[in-house]
Structure 1
Amino acid sequence: MGNVIELGRGARAAVTERTGGVSAPPYDSLNLGLGTGDEREAVLANREAAARDLGFSAARVAWMNQVHSADVLVAEGPGGVGTCDGVVTTRSDVVLAALSADCLPVLAADTGAGVLGAAHSGRLGTAHGVAARLVEAMVAQGARADQLSVFLGPAICGRCYEVPPEVQAETARETPEAECITRWGTTGVDMRAAVTAQLRRAGVVDITADGRCTLESEELFSHRRGAPTGRLASFVWRS
């Protein structure tokens, strides 16, 4: 289980790791993603265990049906939110979650306004600015961009995320910071740099990052390192 961090006064964030669950290989063992091919009962048991270890009930969690979009929805309660890649809530009893296995989780809180947000920023979500859309949706619920505390979870790093030149160009069209060179000297995408730039332009000041590369870190799931594989969950909730 990953470390819990304070995300502004009165909110917490955490990212799970691979160990501590009941899933069999290749999803071993704390796979929190339904739809990966893993046994549903194992994933639900893992969700219960992860929530218990973090100090909240699994029944409080709002889950997205993630599709690599820039759509953001409002969670009025726990359970399935709908098809989107960003979710916000003003409910103090709701825990927001984003699943990933190389994509970048974005967790945000304005505790003064009582607004939480979570997003899944994959390559397409990064290209289409889902992180900025998340900020807009939180502001619409009463938050202030300059009062947000944002935590970026682990993701594949730019030095490992090799893509064809045309894919790099598409991703960097609106956010040039996405463009990078991999450790092999080829074209790559740096999602963390791109999303950080998007958040800064949206008015966010307080941004921290996990910094780990999912491809390089064996304790994390990575789709590029070994598909099929499980999914990490990044959570944000009121403490």
Structure 2
Amino acid sequence: MLLTDRVHVVITDRHGGVSADPYDSRNLGGAVGDTASNVLENRHKTALEHGFDPSRVVLMNQVHGVDVEYVTEPWRAETPAADALCTDQVGLALGVLVADCAPTLIADATAGLVGAAHSGRPGTAAGVVLNLVRSMVSRGADPARMVALVGPAACGACYEVPADVQASFPATGWSTSRHGNPALDIRATITAQLTDHGVADVRHDRRCTIESPELYSYRRDRVTGRFAGYIWLGA
């Protein structure tokens, strides 16, 4: 779908691929135990179905950090550790792999810049989305023009954590689960971070990964695949 002028986004689900149980079937994660050939076929199939070039996709070695990489082409060697990407290259698709963390996709169409962040509990607390915004601003983007999409993630009614873990997280994301236990709402914190830094147009795919069987969830299933959020600039 179009996020804004010339900017395309896709949130995949677990259906329509070739992987076997427990990764059935469109697993896009290459480090979860699935067969490498199945993952590559799923990635290729996903790109073709959604209208971007399978040879023009950039993924990351996600480590729950805050590093942002500016990219102009697919990696030629080893994929570096990073949790956010940005580009100004038309047709270069940026991808985030998730199974409870929030894929956060950001664009400033006027500046011709798009970005993608992997924002789970550690990265959200450390400000990976803010680092992405800052990186895009350094290349000419304006937060007032940015449009952000926060994708599916574990919701504040399901994402239970110990009290000390909750206390170490920004208070904007403190929640109480349906069972009355301490919990986190990472979506709320990402939204607060974006709006506090001038990004007013924040949109949401509010599905909870734990509650949505069409999505992968590590907290629900433990051994499972990864779905993806993709963003790219059209011509």
- 2: distance between equivalents of 1:99 and 1:57? 18
Deviation digits for residues 194-233 of structure 1 (CA, Å, limit 9, x no counterpart)? 0000011111011100000000000000001111100001
Deviation at 1:236, TM superposition (A): 0.3
Supply the AA of the counterpart residue of 1:187: P
> What's the secondary structure of 1:127's corresponding residue?
helix
User: Partner of 2:49 in structure 1?
Assistant: 53
Alpha-carbon separation, structure 2, partners of 1:58 and 1:160 = 35
Match status 1:126 vs 2:124: yes
Which residue is 2:13 aligned to?
A: 17
Q: Which residue of 1 aligns with 2:4?
A: 8
What does the per-residue CA deviation read over 1:3-52, in whole Å, with 9 as the maximum and x for residues that have no partner?
xx321111011110001000111111000010111000000000001001
Q: Quote the offset at 1:76 in angstroms.
A: 2.1
Alignment partner of 1:238 is 2:233: yes
Aligned to 1:106: 104
Distance 2:165 2:23 in 1: 29
Q: Residue in 1 aligned with 2:137?
A: 139
User: Percent identical across equivalent pairs?
Assistant: 46
Match of 1:37? 33
Please give the TM-score of this superposition, normalised by the length of structure 1. 0.95
Q: How far apart in 2 are the matches of 1:18 and 1:98?
A: 15
The number of residues matched between the two structures is 232
Match of 1:161 in 2: 159
SS in 1 for 2:49: helix
Shift of 1:127: 0.7
Distance 1:137 1:81, change over 3 A: farther
Partner of residue 222, structure 2: 227
* Residues 36 and 229, structure 1, Cα contact 8 Å, conserved in 2: yes
SS at match of 1:82: coil
Native 8 Å contact 1:73 1:81 kept in 2 = no
Q: Which residue of 1 is the match for residue 204 of structure 2?
A: 209
Query: 5+ residue gaps in structure 1?
Result: none
* Deviations 1:167-212, CA, capped at 9 Å, x for gaps: 011112xxx2111111110000100000000011111011100000
Any stretches of 5+ residues in structure 2 without a counterpart?
none
SS in structure 2 at match of 1:156: coil
SS in 2 for 1:92: coil
Say if 2:52 and 2:91, in contact at 8 Å, map to a contact too. Answer: no
TM-score by length of 2: 0.97
In structure 2, give the amino acid aligned to 1:50: T
